[in-house]
Amino acid sequence: MEIWLHKIMHSTKDKRLQKKHIIRLWSMLITILLIISMQIFIQNDNIIAASGVRIYNYTSKKEYTYTDLQVRVTYNGKKISVDSTPGLLESSIALVSYKDIFARSEIKANCVYDKAAGTVSISKFGTTIVMKIGSKTAHINGKAVTAPLAPVKIKYVKENVTKILVPSRFVFENLGYDYTWNKSTSTVSVQRKSEPLLLTYNDGEMFYYDGTQGKVTIDGQNIDLGKMPSIITNNTAMLRAKRVFADSKINADYKYNTKDKSITLSRNGNTLEMKIGSPVAHLNGKAIIMDTAPMIVTNNNVGTSYVMVPGSFTASCLGFDYQWDKNKVTSIFSSRDDEVFEEKPGDNKSENEDNIPGQPQDDPSDQPQDNAP
């Protein structure tokens, strides 16, 4: 009886050991499979294909197997390249399809291919780059420059697709984009925080403003600037007159005379008078010279005009301290210690209460405006 019980217990123990051993073996097998899968994924992710890509070069009229890194492109974190026809690396320079990357993606550049001349034209934000297949000489807004590598016309044999590749960094950076190359992932990363504004100053010619697009805070509170951020002119932050100084905590009385283009801001016994295009202002009747004159700025992207005044000067005249934060691209207004705020009747302004005769409005296209749509 004792021997029989011992055998049963020994048999049960063996089964438990066998079960643990089987579980351990399965765990090891799964781990090995995961490691192998990750290695395969990493190889695919880096786009290093052992078989390479069959390429036909129209210039040399030769077909060959390309075995170097296959380039992909992301814009603001989103992939815009085509996996079946990747970019190529030549002399450490990433070449990409002008049509896939610049015309068909979110970049949305205006691209033109002149087959007879063998040229590619890429235009964006007022900059036009013209390149010729097989030539390093390019033209940017008509000025001749030397590109690091000539555009090339090739065929992806397997896909039976013809593409014209251009030097990616050269094009992106000349169009104003931030460009980063990551060799470990074979990826060109392109970013742009904000697009240039198509502006007009005082009824002048339209141009692309690619400078700072600033913000405004008053005693720590962000001011909604609508469709017209602050801009930098003559090293001066120009701000929306009515939105910043009247429709905010500053709460100044604001008037704009369309006939003589004069601006009047009154607050706490101080009256500031300025005129569009003139550097001479009057504070309580006393003439003061400003570094930068007020302007009427038209944002042609939205078809609206705004009265813009120098931020620091205007803030000081109306009793506020002013500071420019370069890192945050922000005009910072601070109340002075002796400030007392009084709410006037009708202070709770809305976008629909700005249509006052003789003042800038949103709707009439023939008047300067100071209210975002």
Q: Which of 245, 230, 370 is nearest to 319 (CA)?
A: 245
Q: Give the integer Cα–Cα distance in Å for 332 and 311.
A: 10
Angle ∠(137,140,145) on CA atoms, nearest 5: 35
User: 30 in a domain, yes or no?
Assistant: no
Instruction: Indicate if 186 and 206 belong to the same structural domain.
Output: no
Query: Is it the case that residue 329 has pLDDT exceeding 50?
Result: yes
Residue 353: partners with Cβ closer than 8 Å, 6 or more residues away: 346
Mean pLDDT of 229-250: 96
Pair (184, 203) in one structural domain: no
Beta partners for residue 289, in sequence order: 280
Using CA atoms, how far residue 90 sits from 50, 71, 95, 101, 150, in Å, is 18, 11, 7, 18, 10
- Residues 201 and 336 reside in one and the same domain: yes
Give the C-alpha separation, 286 to 246, whole Å. Answer: 22
Percent of the chain with pLDDT over 90: 74
Q: Residue 307 in contact with residue 256, Cβ under 8 Å?
A: yes
Give me the phi and psi of 53, to 5 degrees please.
-125, 125
Lookup: tokens for 70? 């296959």
Same domain, 102 and 119: yes
On whether both 211 and 307 belong to a single domain, the answer is yes
Task: Collect all residues with Cβ–Cβ distance below 8 Å to 155 and sequence separation of at least 6.
Answer: 55, 56, 58, 161, 162, 163
Q: Are residues 186 and 217 in the same domain?
A: no
138 versus 340: which is more confidently predicted?
Answer: 138
> Which 3 state secondary structure label does DSSP give 33?
helix
CA angle 144, 147, 148 (to 5 degrees): 155
Q: Give the lowest-confidence range in 23-27, 151-155, 156-160, 245-249.
A: 23-27
Domains in the chain, number: 2
For residues 210 and 138, membership in a common domain is answered with no
Report the predicted TM-score, pTM, of the whole model to 2 decimal places.
0.67
Phi, psi of 132 (to 5 degrees): -115, 135
* Containing structural domain, residue 146: 53-191
Quickly count: other Cβ atoms within 10 Å of residue 176's Cβ.
Answer: 15
- Residue 266 domain flag: yes
pLDDT digits (tens, 9 = 90+) for 272-317: 999 999 999 999 999 999 999 999 999 999 999 999 999 999 999 9
CATH number of the domain to which 302 belongs: 3.30.457.10
For every residue of 86-101, DSSP letters joined together read: -EEEETTEEEEEHIII
Identify the burial level of 153 via C-beta atoms within 10 angstroms of its C-beta, where 0-12 means exposed, 13-18 middle and 19 or more buried.
middle
Amino acid at 351: E
Identify whether residues 165 and 73 lie together within a single domain.
Answer: yes
List pLDDT tens digits, range 75-133. Answer: 999 999 999 999 999 999 999 999 999 999 999 999 999 999 999 999 999 999 999 99
Among residues 191, 222, 239, which one ends one of the domains? 191
pLDDT for the residue 35:
63
Residue 257 included in any domain: yes
**62: in domain:** yes
Residues 259 and 310 in one domain: yes
Does 134 lie in the same domain as 87? Answer: yes
Listing DSSP states for 344-370 in one string gives PTT-S--GGG---TTS--SS-TTS---
Token pair in block for residue 190: 């392109």
pLDDT band for 373, please (50, 70, 90 cuts). Answer: very low
The answer to whether residues 201 and 344 belong to one domain is yes
Task: Render pLDDT for 143-156 as a digit per residue (tens, 0 to 9).
Answer: 999 999 999 999 99
CB distance 288 to 280 below 8 Å: yes
pLDDT in tens, 198-227: 999 998 999 999 999 999 999 999 999 999
Read off the pLDDT of each residue in 10-32 and give the average, rounded to a whole number: 64
Is 9 domain-assigned?
no
